[in-house]
Amino acid sequence: MSFPLCGHIPRLTYFRHVVRREQFFQFESVQSEWLVFAVEDGSFYYEIGDRSATATFGDLVFCPPGVAFRRVVISPVTLFVLRMGWTDDLGNELDPLRLSRLPVGKVSLRNTEKLLDDYAAMKRHNFLDERWSMVGRNHYLHHIWLMYCEQAEQLPTDEADRSSDPFIRKATKLIEEHAFERFSLNAIAVSLGVSRMQLCQKFQAELGTTPIKYATALRLEKAKKLLAETNLTLDQISECCGYQNGFYLSRVFKNNCGMTPKQYRLEHRL
């Protein structure tokens, strides 16, 4: 039996808001519970097993228990440190099979406006007593988790129409999961049981675009948010969006957006 991610309910056991940390107290740690770093500002590099990436605003980094979590600050980082357990919708502890469905490493939330609202609400609960502050923070954590579930499982939303083709839904999900890494289109095609050419043909026929252009659109949307909402350098933003360096990102950005990243930042700075 397959269980949807929205049936996995996080239960917060520890909460800390870390402000403008220039380095972590520990380079490496192993936790007995699930650990999540939710980035509000700045950026850091991490390694979890064989996974590594740079996380910045809009990213949540999930580390399962018993696994080494290594991290280094890139630019002064403000984040939420969350430790949690998981239950089903009836309050029962999840078995190992269901826990294996949870994400490991970075997930990037696209609806950063709602995310900022949830972050602000979690910080406001500092002024309540310990019991009620944890109740409130759990509420907003559940909302953040639901936003991720909507992205990961393409639950019905008002934001976009979804393809009726199951193959295309699976293909877009895989691309969305790996868009901000240096992924291989060949590997995605193999995982779908088709050749790269067949994947491109099916994608073009159904969505009127190519898988690469689809991934590029996702990357540029994130780059725009980081340019407008953070002080990260272009090289740091390129790392967060899956590009090899700032020069390459700048070229792709100008070709698709009609202006340089610097011009975009000047015009859209919040």
Could you tell me the residue ranges of all domains in the chain? 5-153, 166-268
Helix (H) or strand (E) holding 120, with range, is: helix 112-124
Categorize the per-residue pLDDT at 158 as very low, low, confident or very high, splitting at 50, 70 and 90.
Answer: very low
**pLDDT score for 127:** 61
Q: Report pLDDT digits (tens) over 81-122.
A: 999 999 998 889 998 888 998 999 999 988 888 999 999 999
Instruction: Specify whether the CB–CB gap between 270 and 262 falls below 8 A.
Output: no
User: Across the chain, what does the average pLDDT equal?
Assistant: 89
**pLDDT score for 188:** 94
How far apart are the C-alpha atoms of 167 and 173, rounded to whole Å? 10
Fold of 5-153: Jelly Rolls (2.60.120)
Instruction: Specify whether the CB–CB gap between 238 and 246 falls below 8 A.
Output: yes
Instruction: Specify whether the CB–CB gap between 189 and 196 falls below 8 A.
Output: yes
- The strand pair at 28-30 and 51-56 is best described as unpaired
Say yes or no: do domains 5-153 and 166-268 share a fold: no
Q: Report pLDDT digits (tens) over 213-239.
A: 999 999 999 999 889 888 889 998 998
**Neighbour tally for 237: CB within 10 Å:** 27
For the domain covering 166-268, report its CATH number: 1.10.10.60
How far apart are the C-alpha atoms of 98 and 3, rounded to whole Å? 7
- Name which residue leads in pLDDT, 254 or 1: 254
